Structure 1
Amino acid sequence: MARAATAAASCAPRLLRAALLLLLLVAATRHAAGAPVVSELRCQCLQTVQGIHLKNIQSVKVTPAGSHCAQTEVIATLKNGQETCLNPEAPMVKKMIEKMLKKGSAN
């Protein structure tokens, strides 16, 4: 019986380390699954759409080209919470950005 207790006691630190490692992995995965982080040094938009109906858009974020990405990125957050990358060269997207800029400068 004493031998079984000793074996269980020696496994405890390994189990504790394994549990801690699992907890850290879960926390890191949850962070990675969230919204894109602007400080990442890569483009957020791998594919773009030409446009989306304005009534479906909740907000728009425009990220100018820079060291993180060579192209301007336009990310629309839809009313259902989904994020969609818009083509910044599409005429509809250009008009939307112009309206946003005019609205922002008027305030």
Structure 2
Amino acid sequence: MYIITIVALPFFGIISEGISLGDWGGIKHCRCVSKEKKPIGRYIGRVEVNPAGPHCKDIEIIATLKTDGQQICLDPNAPWVKRVLKRKSTGQRP
């Protein structure tokens, strides 16, 4: 019984480590449930763009607010959001 325990413990450790590594390294679902359509451009400190992919069929634009660091999902079809993204791509402040 002692030998079985010595052999089995490392085996189970490898399995559990493999499971935890498989879950590490990314979001596997959409983060945005609702999207802000009203202009909030002057409150935005940072913008993160997550392209559509296997994790989510929609592009996700997530703004971090200057004041409190809250993250808000933006509507990628809103004209003001497109302007914010254009400014971001040219290196201007949002």
The TM tier, using the shorter chain, reads 0.5 to 0.7
Q: Distance in 2 between matches of 1:60 and 1:51?
A: 16
Is 1:62 the equivalent of 2:49?
A: yes
Structure 2: give runs of 5+ residues left out of the alignment.
1-23
Higher gyration radius (CA): 1
2:32 aligned to which of 39, 45, 48: 45
Partner residue in 2 for 1:6: none
Distance 1:45 1:39, change over 3 A: same
Secondary structure of the residue that 1:99 maps to in structure 2? helix
Which has a greater percent of helix? 1
RMSD value, Cα:
2.0
Report the CA distance between 1:97 and its aligned residue.
Answer: 0.5
Q: Give unmatched runs, 5+ long, in structure 1.
A: 1-36
The structure whose RCO (Cα within 8 Å, separation 6+) is larger is 2
Q: Quick check: 1:84 aligned with 2:61?
A: no
Tell whether the 8 Å contact from 1:42 to 1:68 is kept in structure 2 after alignment: yes
SS at match of 2:76: coil
1:61 is displaced (CA, Å) by 0.3
- Compute the TM-score of the two structures, normalised by the length of structure 2: 0.65
Q: Deviations over 1:58-79 (max 9, x none)?
A: 1010111011100100000002
Count residues with an aligned counterpart. 68
**Alpha-carbon shift at residue 101 of structure 1 (Å):** 0.9
